[in-house]
Amino acid sequence: AMLNNTHLSDEEQAEALKRWWTDNGKSIIAGIVIGLSLVLGWQGWSRYQIEQSELASLEYDRLKSILQKNDTSAAAIQSDTIKQDYSSTSYSFFAALDLAKSYLEAEDYVKARSELEYAIANAADEGLKAMAQARLARVLIAAGETDQALAIANQNTVAAFAGDFAHIKGDIYREKGDLESAKKAYAEALISSNNSSLLEMKLNEVNTGS
């Protein structure tokens, strides 16, 4: 009911107000309570997210320190802690990437691949996913699994990583002995790559058949 007091006396206005409040008061109070709950709930959730991110950052710093000591075993334990306790943050993604790099340097391709597959599955956006896929393709090349690496490179749809994946495809074709395809891939990579000196060297090598 609408409250219209244009032609009402003070007593009539008071009575109309009572009736209006009887009809609408509960719903107004409920709306206020719900609104406050939503605001306070959102603020609480935001604080929780910030706290989680700060704690995850500390744990990630510990991981970086462990990796600097080349203690891959301890790094794996620390990485698992980050993944289990802070999976909602991007630190779990980067923990997997860093541990994969350590495994790759140790030529443990199976474990490196496992970490990168975790990173791909838990990437927050397509750009991060493409980054992990590029690294996985590199691991597969190192492990001699060029067909799987090529399949991953061909799946890329992120324009920002086109040059990286073209470079990867060039390396794969070169490894396979397909120098013509390698030339095309390296030339494509040169268009958008910051690593032009390395690509020019590789392109010269495939042009001379080496």
Using alpha carbons, select from 120, 113, 124, 40 the residue that is nearest to residue 86: 124
Q: Which residue has the higher pLDDT, 164 or 32?
A: 164
Rounded to an integer, the average pLDDT of 4-23 is 64
3-state secondary structure at position 208: coil
- pLDDT band (50, 70, 90) for residue 45: very low
Other CB atoms within 10 Å distance of the CB of residue 182: 23
Using alpha carbons, select from 29, 19, 28 the residue that is nearest to residue 3: 19
Confirm if 109 and 143 have CB atoms less than 8 A apart.
yes
- pLDDT band (50, 70, 90) for residue 89: confident
Rounded to an integer, the average pLDDT of 67-87 is 94
Confirm if 143 and 172 have CB atoms less than 8 A apart.
no
Structural tokens at position 131: 């980054």
Q: Which residue has the higher pLDDT, 46 or 59?
A: 59
3-state secondary structure at position 175: helix
For the chain, what percent of residues have pLDDT higher than 70?
80
Q: Which residue has the higher pLDDT, 165 or 17?
A: 165
Rounded to an integer, the average pLDDT of 123-152 is 96
Q: Which residue has the higher pLDDT, 119 or 30?
A: 119
Using alpha carbons, select from 85, 24, 31, 28 the residue that is nearest to residue 54: 85
Whether the predicted pLDDT of 41 surpasses 70: no
